Amino acid sequence: MESFPFQYRVTKKESGHREMPMSFDELKFVHIMSGEGRWNINGEVFSVERDDVLIFSRGDLRYLEEVVSAEPLVMEQVIFLPITVYPAEGCVALFFEKERASLLPKNNEYHTRILEDFASIRKEIERELPYRNEWIANRITSMVISTARLLGLEKKSPAVTGRAQYATVCKAISYLHEHLEGDLSRETIAAALYVSPSHLSRIFKEYTGVTLQEYIVRCRVEHAVTLIRSGKRPIDAAFESGFGSTSGFYRAFSAVTGKKPKEI
């Protein structure tokens, strides 16, 4: 399942699997469902086993050194943007600290709650219920708050960066969700928020990791998917989601979902 601004996926790596070092910009929770392995995160090696939880941050150099168990290493991952857990922006600070835990301590109430949130998200993925995305976003927020409490973040700085800029980005996202069928040019959104277009573009990319236009396209495609699954014809779903042409809709749909509308 792929959603926005978060994703959920399960991966399986066979015994002996190794990876090359890579740097990523995404925030991620990883739950080890079975198997054992060694993760290298910013040069520090962590041995992981069943029910371990790792947190990855923007800019981490991370890779799986090796799967050391005879059985495959199975991991479920929740990948998200900082904006997903608004308004708990202070809790997101833990993902941007230079000195922070990558492997969460086990055998405590907060670790247990994080595992429960993983299970809740997994269950939601299996069902097609209304407000599924909202439910999952709430579970991610719960995971971040539990992690912040577990690591004692309340004793540290309460914000990632400027609250005013973060609030502007949140307002921009609310605005575009309310006006998906209308004009969502950078200039229109900026005018509605009383900021300059260039300032909006800069802070939006800074806080979400994607450009404003990329976010709009993904939101429109996601809305179109919901409409198609409810029985709408793809062409009607396209225009009701704000696409100005069928060709643009099909290109965007394929780029975001990897599928054609009729395959949804």
Residue 18's CATH number: 2.60.120.280
Contact yes or no for 80/121 (Cβ under 8 A): no
81 and 150 share one domain? yes
The domain tally of the chain equals 2
CB 47 within 8 A of CB 32: no
pTM: 0.69
- Residues 6 or more apart from 127 whose CB is under 8 A from it? none
The per-residue pLDDT for range 187-237, each reduced to its tens digit, is: 999 999 999 999 999 988 877 777 899 889 988 888 888 888 888 899 999
Radius of gyration of the chain (CA): 20
Looking at the fold, whether 33 and 60 belong to one and the same domain comes out as yes
Residue at token pair 């959603």: 3
pLDDT computed for residue 42 by the predictor = 87
Q: Is residue 186 part of a domain?
A: yes
SS3 category, 49? coil
Sheet of 53-56: strand order equals 6-13, 73-80, 27-34, 53-56
Strand-by-strand arrangement of the 44-48 sheet: 22-23, 61-67, 37-41, 44-48
Over the stretch 39-82, which tens digit does the pLDDT of each residue have?
998 889 999 999 999 998 877 888 999 999 999 999 999 988 77
Q: Are residues 132 and 224 in the same domain?
A: no
Cis amide bond preceding 5, omega within 30 = yes
